[in-house]
Structure 1
Amino acid sequence: MKMKLIMLLSGLLLFSCKSPEARRPVTQKSGSYINQSVERNKKIVAEEEAQIQKIIENDSANDYISSPNGFWYYYNKKDTTTTKTPEFGDIVKFDYSLQTLDGKNIYTDEEIAPRTYTMDQEQLFSGLREGLKLMREGETVTFLFPSHKAFGYYGDKKRIGSDVPVISKVTLMEITEDNEDNNNPNN
């Protein structure tokens, strides 16, 4: 009887020392959904950029500049006397409007009251955030944003739908430099 008990315990020890094996997923994804999504997005970007290029070609009155950030713009009013552009933490006061590429108003500047924004510390769609960094106080610039630089796939859940490229006319009224001394309560 002791022998059987010793053999039983030895067997249990032998099998209990086996390292655990990883469980395999019941279903495996092939990645085809991601590949389809990438192809769909590439097609959308190409179509939007073609629309924007057509607008640029048909507009001989303005000199468009291609931003390395993936949008195009031209100056309605340019200031050549100052070099100060907004930097991280600066507070800017600006006004803007949004239109579709065919010129239909989405939001007028009257609907969007002049807005203040702390650079790179608040929510703002990426194209406008990057566009403001190119501007000087007193300038007015018209930006052409593909949808991925505007409101993207989700839109704004109000008037801007999915994958809508926009034209935005922006006036930068004021830049207030971030002064850390003003934030210090000991001063």
Structure 2
Amino acid sequence: MNKRLVLLFVFACALSCKTPEARKPETVKSGSFISESVIRNKKLYEAEEKAIEAYIKTQDTKQFMASEYGFWYAQDTVVGVNASKLPEFGDIVNFNFNLSALDGTLIYSKEELKTRDYAMDQEALFTGLREGLKEMRAGETFTFIFPSQKAYGYYGDENRIGRNTPLISEVTVNSITNK
């Protein structure tokens, strides 16, 4: 009996000394979700671009230009180039703006959003507006058209702006204070 117990003990020790082996994954992801997401986003972008181009065609009084940042803008009030400088990192920009849908429905008025002071590139502001303010001088008013990915994107603002909503915004820069 003692021999059997010793053999069993030796056998158990031999099994426990075995190095662990890597386990193979149970499922392998193919990346199809990402591929489908890319296709879905391209379709969304094309649909938004067509809607924005249709809106621009209806605007006879404004000349919209495409920005290198991925949005469109029209200069409503232009100030001379030498009148003031463009804002730089840390400058305080005092501005008013409103937000509307492409069909012209007002989402937020200038009164609701109030006059804001924004420390350039140091505070939270949606991407399109942050980049648009970089192109403006004190005293200028621009009308911007932001595709959804430059506005509030997939989630919206979880209040009045829905998901994947392109926006129109009239922005007036009141003053720019050096950092």
Both structures adopt the same fold (TM-score exceeding 0.5): yes
SS of 2:57's partner is: helix
Alpha-carbon RMSD across the aligned residues, in angstroms, is 2.3
Distance 1:134 1:17 in 2: 69
Say if 2:37 is the partner of 1:37. Answer: yes
Equivalent position of 1:92 in the other structure: 93
SS of 2:111's partner is: coil
Q: Which 10-residue stretch deviates more, 134-143 or 52-61?
A: 52-61
Measured after TM superposition, the shift of residue 108 of structure 1 is: 0.4
Equivalent position of 1:136 in the other structure: 137
Equivalent position of 1:67 in the other structure: 67
Say if 2:54 is the partner of 1:54. Answer: yes
Q: Which amino acid aligns with 1:110?
A: E
Moved over 6 A (4+): 10-18
Distance 1:86 1:22 in 2: 57
Q: Decide whether aligned partners of structure 1 residues 22 and 172 sit closer, same or farther in structure 2, where only a CA change above 3 A counts.
A: farther
Q: Is the 8 A contact 2:107 2:161 kept in 1?
A: yes
TM-score, with structure 1 as normaliser? 0.84
Measured after TM superposition, the shift of residue 12 of structure 1 is: 9.0
Measured after TM superposition, the shift of residue 42 of structure 1 is: 0.8
Q: Is the 8 A contact 2:84 2:138 kept in 1?
A: no
- Gap runs ≥5 in structure 2: 1-7
Say if 2:166 is the partner of 1:165. Answer: yes
Equivalent position of 1:103 in the other structure: 104
Distance 1:71 1:143 in 2: 7
Give CA deviations for 1:5-25 in whole Å, capped at 9, x if unaligned: xxx9x9999988876543332
Distance 1:175 1:166 in 2: 25
Q: Which 10-residue stretch deviates more, 106-115 or 50-59?
A: 50-59
TM-score, with structure 2 as normaliser? 0.87
Distance 2:20 2:140 in 1: 66
Tell me the number of residue pairs that the alignment of Structure 1 and Structure 2 aligns.
Answer: 178
Q: Decide whether aligned partners of structure 1 residues 87 and 11 sit closer, same or farther in structure 2, where only a CA change above 3 A counts.
A: farther
> Sequence identity, in percent?
52
SS of 1:144's partner is: strand
Distance 1:133 1:18 in 2: 64
Superposition map of 1:78-89 within 5 A: 78-79=78-79, 80-82=81-83, 84-89=85-90
Give CA deviations for 1:161-185 in whole Å, capped at 9, x if unaligned: 110000000001111111xxxxxxx
Measured after TM superposition, the shift of residue 58 of structure 1 is: 2.5
SS of 2:110's partner is: coil
Equivalent position of 1:116 in the other structure: 117
Q: Decide whether aligned partners of structure 1 residues 139 and 21 sit closer, same or farther in structure 2, where only a CA change above 3 A counts.
A: farther
